[in-house]
Structure 1
């Protein structure tokens, strides 16, 4: 059986494991919002309050995934069309946002380090945790209900978030070594939004054929 066990439906949908995953993601979400505290305060002082939801990208992504896990822990037996629509939107956002910002954060850390930023234990912790965000989102998408329409809505959200970030200057704070590379960072960010949608679409096609 070997490593295949850890990719199997029986293992991944085991309620005990799902609860562990839920708690880990919930704690990570809380930590993420605390991480963004200074930028949230700065934004509330210098920008309109309605921009605040666009600031904490990674923890909001993990929040969507944490909520999506609840549908797997407690599968609803009877749902209305509105409840079903809410579920697929949350799941789609959980997938495309977690893949996008999981990879984005790692690239920014490595990119900054390549230009002289000194890494500490928190950087390595963030690399591991954000890679895990991307992997778990793609891994669990095959058990979710979201389809191509919801994924398209997720892509629109990512592009809106990108436009807000780089139009109004509320993108996640970067290592100072990357401040003169903002145009390249912006282009990469938009491209990664599209790539995250394509990755989710690929998993969706695989799920439909399975």
Structure 2
């Protein structure tokens, strides 16, 4: 089951970077190169989750003698917090666009299902992960930094045209969703101990 989940997430990550490729190229052509890392939000979240599955698939990576043992909690925290946020964010933007007249295609429905899966799997796997509240807070800081770069420099994920005039509301929702993702992660960390 874990191998299937790993394969699905790995393929979804590749697909996500392909989905963002046009915006990545646009950002490279029109912005300083360092802003590119802030463009592909969902596939990067999926990448963190895919990497976190490696700790479950290969227990040898869990040895305390590993010099990079500190990185596991950070990867897992980023996997959960970002998967929850961007899973919900993408679904919300697709539905909000449709509510304002954006024409949905088959790909939109696939994205809704896959992004809901991202949000759910992140929370379901908290109980198998080793990260704590501090690592989750560091992941939250990454989200806020990403939000700041996205809306300060205009490298946020491209929105349906019908939502362009709602950019302030989208920005507020996005930042609020970062806070929500941290709080939900902390809640599930607390439930893990029960």
Same fold (TM > 0.5): yes
- Of 49, 52, 55, the match for 1:68: 52
- For 1:161 and 1:187, the matched residues in 2 are separated by 14
**Which residue in the other structure is 1:49 paired with?**
33
Q: 1:117 to 1:77 in 2, by over 3 A?
A: closer
Q: CA deviation at 1:80?
A: 3.9
Larger radius of gyration: 1
Q: Name the Cα RMSD after superposition.
A: 0.9
Runs of 4 or more, structure 1, over 3 Å off, are: none
What is the distance in 2 between the residues matched to 1:82 and 1:176? 48
5+ residue gaps, structure 1? 1-16
Task: Establish whether residue 165 from structure 1 lines up as the match of residue 150 from structure 2.
Answer: yes
Secondary structure of the 2:85 match is helix
Q: Is 1:145 the equivalent of 2:130?
A: yes
Instruction: Note the C-alpha offset of 1:156.
Output: 0.1
Aligned to 1:9: none
Which position in structure 2 is the counterpart of 1:3?
none
TM-score normalised by length of structure 1: 0.90
For residue 83 of structure 1, report the CA deviation from its aligned partner: 2.1
CA 1:114–1:153: 2 relative to 1, 3 Å:
same
CA distance in structure 2 between the partners assigned to 1:103 and 1:61 by the alignment: 12
How many pairs were matched up? 193
Shift of the 187–20 alpha-carbon distance from structure 1 to 2, 3 Å rule, reads: same
Consecutive unaligned residues of structure 2, counting only runs of 5 or more, are: none
Aligned equivalent of 1:134: 119
TM-score between both structures, scaled by the size of structure 2: 0.97
